[in-house]
Amino acid sequence: MSDRANRKPETGAFFPRDRNWHAPALTPGYKTSVLRSPQKALLSLDGTISEITGPVFGHSILGELDNDLIHNFAKPGESAIGERIIVHGRVLDERGRPVPGALLEFWQANAGGRYRHKKESYLAALDPNFGGCGRTITDEDGFYSFRTIKPGPYPWPNGVNDWRPAHIHFSVFGHGFAQRLITQMYFEGDPMIWKCPIVNTIADRRAIEQLIAPLDWANTIPMDARAYKFDIVLRGRRSTMFENRMEGN
Amino acid sequence: MVQALGYLKETASQTAGPYVHIGLTPNFCGIGGVYDADLGTTMVSERTLGERITLSGRVLDGTGTPLRDALVEIWQADAAGLYNSPSEMRGAADPSFSGWGRCPTGAEDGVFRFETIKPGRVPFKDGRPMAPHITFWIVARGINIGLHTRMYFPDEAEANAADPLLLRVEHRHRVATLVATGGAPSYVFDIHLQGEKETVFLDI
């Protein structure tokens, strides 16, 4: 175990979110946001104990194939069809510290862009050996990895001819509920990225680039699977110095 | 020149999309056999301490239509007001209560439901007790970044009146958007994303 495992738990409030970096709630190019965006200002509050704490999940919840989407839904001896890839990276906070014990959950379409969901009606076929969900927990240095097939792009009813770029959805738990994050990972070089109304809900190009995983040739396994590296940054937290002092003391 | 601060930028949020269930509640959407059970569906066991309650509600858009593709998570203290988290320094929380739950809104009726316990009181940063509350986090198609809010209890009028967060709501008629209806043991909490009845959402 690294010394990090012995580090005192942190109890400071999180850095405020930069809401100009994140997408605003109302982004009319993404039509569904029009009726699902609050119109009144958010009530700002420095984190209380209700937000600086959060659930932490033990490795005991994980099954052997939870981080292997090629096999976790496949019949014995079979595997999902598509480009075999490894997605790996680190979960860090804004201070660059690793976030150990972070639960990551991911979901995606199959190689043809078809999701296994009853509300999905795209005519591309389901892959009988692909479910599309997986999860893992970061190790003591914040590293994670999983194996999957590269998802295909798919059309969606927004504009007349809108297509999502190939993407994998990520859900992340840090150590505090205020760090809770859902995002999407895109693939280096995909020309669809810059046409997408959901990607373009984010105004800052650098924030979009942070969602694009580069091809990681160094970690590609010859004759098996290519690798993409995707690091995730969660909110940092302040030192706890002086924070326990009551007002007026 | 001065040193650079060297902080990283937070990974930007993106919508959970309409198929969030595949990843977060696969059994709910018919993907069986990958996980034994969906995470967060069971919050209490026989050993959990505290008063059993049921929370249900809907998430409604700007026309009052319930979302049937939202996902709601809650986070709360145990009956003694302690959080089951490594950052909880005030004592050890009830080991039989995780404090966290997850529920999709029903594909037919748009209703979410949690079987949980009533939380104890926890202190605000300056030591004043907050009224009993449950933290909510809502994601869905069309929501670019998860929405945080809180639910308070209608039968805690005195505590609510002195709650440090509720006291900060400038437009007093909006306090009611954070208070559930019903009464023990069944509370109803509808979340309005937009419009006249818009729920107070938090930047925390």
Q: DSSP string of A117-155? A: -TT---SSPPPTT---EEEEE--TTSEEEEEEEPPPPEE
Instruction: Please answer whether residues A81 and A130 qualify as being in contact, where contact means their C-beta atoms are separated by less than 8 angstroms.
Output: yes
Best CA proximity match to A45, nearest among B149, B6, B64? B149
Question: Hey, is the C-beta of B36 within 8 angstroms of any chain A C-beta?
Answer: yes
CA distance A99 to A179: 11
Q: What is the average pLDDT across B10-21?
A: 98
CA distance A178 to A12: 12
Residue B147 pLDDT > 50: yes
Torsion sign across C-alpha atoms A20, A26, A28, A29? positive
At residue B107 the predicted structure's pLDDT band, cuts being 50, 70 and 90, is confident
CA distance A191 to A108: 19
Q: Which residues of chain A have pLDDT under 70?
A: 1-6, 240-249
What DSSP element (H or E) covers A183? strand A181-187
Query: In sequence order, which residues have a C-beta less than 8 Å from that of residue B43 and are 6 or more positions away?
Result: B97, B98, B99, B100, B101, B114, B115, B116, B117
How much is the ipTM here? 0.97
Number of CB pairs, chain A paired with chain B, less than 8 A apart? 281
Residue B94 pLDDT > 90: yes
Q: Return the residue in A21, A36, A87, A93 with the most chain B beta carbons within 10 A, the one to mutate for interface testing.
A: A36
8 Å CB contact of B194 and A233: no
Residue length, chain A?
249
Identity of the residue numbered B117 = I
Q: Return the residue in A6, A107, A140 with the most chain B beta carbons within 10 A, the one to mutate for interface testing.
A: A107
CA distance B131 to A25: 29
How far B182 CA lies from chain A's nearest CA (Å)? 24
Nearest to B61 among A35, A72, A107 (CB): A35
Proportion of chain B above pLDDT 70, given as a percent: 100
Nearest to A42 among B8, B12, B202 (CB): B202
8 Å CB contact of A36 and B142: yes
Determine the distance from the C-alpha atom of residue A220 to the mean position of all C-alpha atoms in its chain, rounded to a whole number: 21
**What are phi and psi for residue B152, nearest 5 degrees?**
-110, 170
Distances (CA, A) of A59 to A63, A135, B5: 9, 11, 34
Of residues B16 and A239, the one with the higher pLDDT is B16
8 Å CB contact of A243 and B148: no
Best CA proximity match to A152, nearest among A129, A117, A124, A171? A124
Q: What pLDDT is attached to residue A22?
A: 98
Nearest to A53 among B7, B18, B88 (CB): B88
Q: What pLDDT is attached to residue A239?
A: 78
Question: Hey, is the C-beta of B80 within 8 angstroms of any chain A C-beta?
Answer: no
Question: Hey, is the C-beta of B61 within 8 angstroms of any chain A C-beta?
Answer: yes
**What are phi and psi for residue A168, nearest 5 degrees?**
-125, 130
Q: What pLDDT is attached to residue A249?
A: 30
Question: Hey, is the C-beta of B10 within 8 angstroms of any chain A C-beta?
Answer: yes
User: Which positions in chain A touch B88 (Cβ < 8 Å)?
Assistant: 49, 53
Instruction: Please answer whether residues A151 and A166 qualify as being in contact, where contact means their C-beta atoms are separated by less than 8 angstroms.
Output: yes
If contacts are CB pairs under 8 Å, which of residues 129-148 in chain B contact chain A?
Answer: 130, 133, 135, 137, 139-148
Instruction: Please answer whether residues B135 and B72 qualify as being in contact, where contact means their C-beta atoms are separated by less than 8 angstroms.
Output: no
CA distance A172 to A193: 22
Nearest to A40 among B24, B100, B198 (CB): B198
For chain B, what is the mean pLDDT? 97
8 Å CB contact of B135 and A51: yes
CA distance A179 to A174: 6
Question: Hey, is the C-beta of B69 within 8 angstroms of any chain A C-beta?
Answer: yes
HSE, side-chain direction, 13 A CA sphere, residue B188: 6
Active site residues of A: 115, 154, 164, 167, 169
CA distance A24 to A27: 7
Q: What pLDDT is attached to residue A247?
A: 39
Q: What pLDDT is attached to residue B45?
A: 97
Nearest to B61 among A36, A55, A181 (CB): A36
Q: What pLDDT is attached to residue A241?
A: 58
Instruction: Please answer whether residues A162 and A196 qualify as being in contact, where contact means their C-beta atoms are separated by less than 8 angstroms.
Output: yes
User: Which positions in chain B touch A32 (Cβ < 8 Å)?
Assistant: 141-142
Q: What pLDDT is attached to residue A10?
A: 86
Best CA proximity match to B144, nearest among A167, A24, A203, A170? A24
Proportion of chain B above pLDDT 90, given as a percent: 99
